[in-house]
Amino acid sequence: MSAYEVIETGGVPIKAWTRGVPVEEVAAKQLQNVAGMPFIHKHVAVMPDVHWGIGATVGSVIPCKGAIIPAAVGVDIGCGMMAVQTNLTSHRLPDDLAPLRSAIEKAVPHGRTHRGGPGDRGAWSDAPADVARAWTARVHKGMSLGDGLKAIVERHPKVGKSNNVNHLGTLGSGNHFIEACLDEADRVWVMLHSGSRGVGNRIGTYFIEKAKQEMRRRGIDLPDKDLAYLEEGSELFSDYVLAVGWAQDFARVNRELMMARILDVLSGRFRDFRVGETAVNCHHNYVALEEHFGERVWVTRKGAVRAGLGELGIIPGSMGERSFIVLGKGNRDSFLSCSHGAGRRMSRTAAKKRFTIEDHAKATEGVECRKDSGVIDETPGAYKDIDAVMAAQADLVETVHTLKQVICVKG
């Protein structure tokens, strides 16, 4: 029996790694819509954490020939995970982890950005030295992030009206997090989840609207207006590829800066602190030009991680559940992909109505984290069963390390 289910559609087939994992009706409809687009290559691959998204489901892999759907890439372009193993073990951690959590929160701005001034916990009022160096270092096509953004803004000025350098090295809110975890050998790991912040949102939103305008101009009728696409060869397509690549670089550097600051906190508190051999930094909301089934195609992983043969990836659970460092098996039918997490089983609004502070406190027992009403929408019960998700993709990845958080920082 195949590990995936084949769903025939009016377009290309859907191959879904969802055995034992519920798929909501609205998500199934979105998958059918995407499969019916005329430029999809071979099939659509669906990961076990699949759930409703804007235009396309989160937890899907969409290979396109000659086109990209900006809304499928999304607005948190380059969002992803980073994890670093350390030489610490649990017995070296203090009994009271609250001061360590506070030190991490002090080192990394987190939460929503309101004013951008000194009282704004979600952004820098003035970029510190490490952020300023990262902004001017050559990381994107031989250019710095600062110069790369200028090149984009020259053609699309509205993209510049965003938080950019003052968001570099900051966490954000929602499902973004920083965690200290213990693995199966009792070693401490630092793990975090974030993306391209305000500037990525601006780029994504701007080009999604540009794609919709293009559909209206050409009189193209779509099953969902958020499936508006840009065709390869057009100026808008080239500009989008440049901008999305820049945002993905921003997101990677953003994670690196935060990780460096957290490791500095640990180094200052523990003697002989060292980073271990294993470190992973991977996107799970992005687009890349890759070869699959003999052709070069634009692969959008919307809530999916690349899992080529021997490639390391990260699959997080939730605030109270286990996470996994995995090794890709290079499954061709999944377009070398795996899930990016547990996946939501209910909306944020539904979670706030269903769960109480007491429910959340019980679900996160033993974890030093926020236990207030502001994070009820992120409580473990709002997510799918991570064990079922992992079982459904056993032919996509193998588990290398199993992590359980002891500290969780949320914006």
Check: CB of residue 327 under 8 Å from CB of residue 397.
yes
Side-by-side strand order, sheet with 285-292? 5-7, 14-16, 44-51, 58-64, 295-302, 285-292
Tens-digit pLDDT profile for residues 171-195: 999 999 999 999 999 999 999 999 9
Strand stretches in 71-207, DSSP E: 80-89, 138-140, 143-144, 177-182, 187-194
Tens-digit pLDDT profile for residues 216-272: 999 999 999 999 999 999 999 999 999 999 999 999 999 999 999 999 999 999 999
Position 118 confidence tier, pLDDT thresholds 50, 70, 90: low
Tens-digit pLDDT profile for residues 159-176: 999 999 999 999 999 999
- Overall average pLDDT of the 200-205 stretch: 98
- Residue 68 φ/ψ, nearest 5 degrees: -140, 140
Q: Which residues are catalytic?
A: 340
- Counting every residue written for the chain, the total comes to 411
Position 279 confidence tier, pLDDT thresholds 50, 70, 90: confident
Identify the pLDDT of residue 277.
78
Check: CB of residue 135 under 8 Å from CB of residue 145.
yes
Identify the pLDDT of residue 278.
78
For the chain, the structural domain boundaries read 5-345+383-410
Q: What six digits make up the tokens of 92?
A: 């070296």
Identify the pLDDT of residue 1.
56
Identify the pLDDT of residue 222.
97
Identify the pLDDT of residue 115.
64
**How far apart are the C-alpha atoms of 213 and 24, rounded to whole Å?**
30
Position 411 confidence tier, pLDDT thresholds 50, 70, 90: confident
Tens-digit pLDDT profile for residues 147-156: 999 999 999 9
2 pLDDT higher than 80: no
Tens-digit pLDDT profile for residues 88-106: 999 999 999 999 999 999 9
Position 133 confidence tier, pLDDT thresholds 50, 70, 90: very high
C-alpha separations of 110 from 13, 107, 118, 122, 192 in Å: 41, 9, 13, 4, 12
**How far apart are the C-alpha atoms of 249 and 405, rounded to whole Å?**
27
C-alpha separations of 343 from 99, 217, 302, 312, 376 in Å: 31, 36, 12, 20, 16
Identify the pLDDT of residue 98.
97
Identify the pLDDT of residue 119.
66
408 pLDDT higher than 60: yes
116 pLDDT higher than 90: no
CATH topology classification for 5-345+383-410: tRNA-splicing ligase RtcB (3.90.1860)
Position 117 confidence tier, pLDDT thresholds 50, 70, 90: low
Query: Which of helix, strand or coil describes residue 81?
Result: strand
Identify the pLDDT of residue 313.
97
107 pLDDT higher than 90: yes
Tens-digit pLDDT profile for residues 281-320: 999 999 999 999 999 999 999 999 999 999 999 999 999 8
Query: Which of helix, strand or coil describes residue 308?
Result: coil
Identify the pLDDT of residue 120.
79
Check: CB of residue 302 under 8 Å from CB of residue 62.
yes
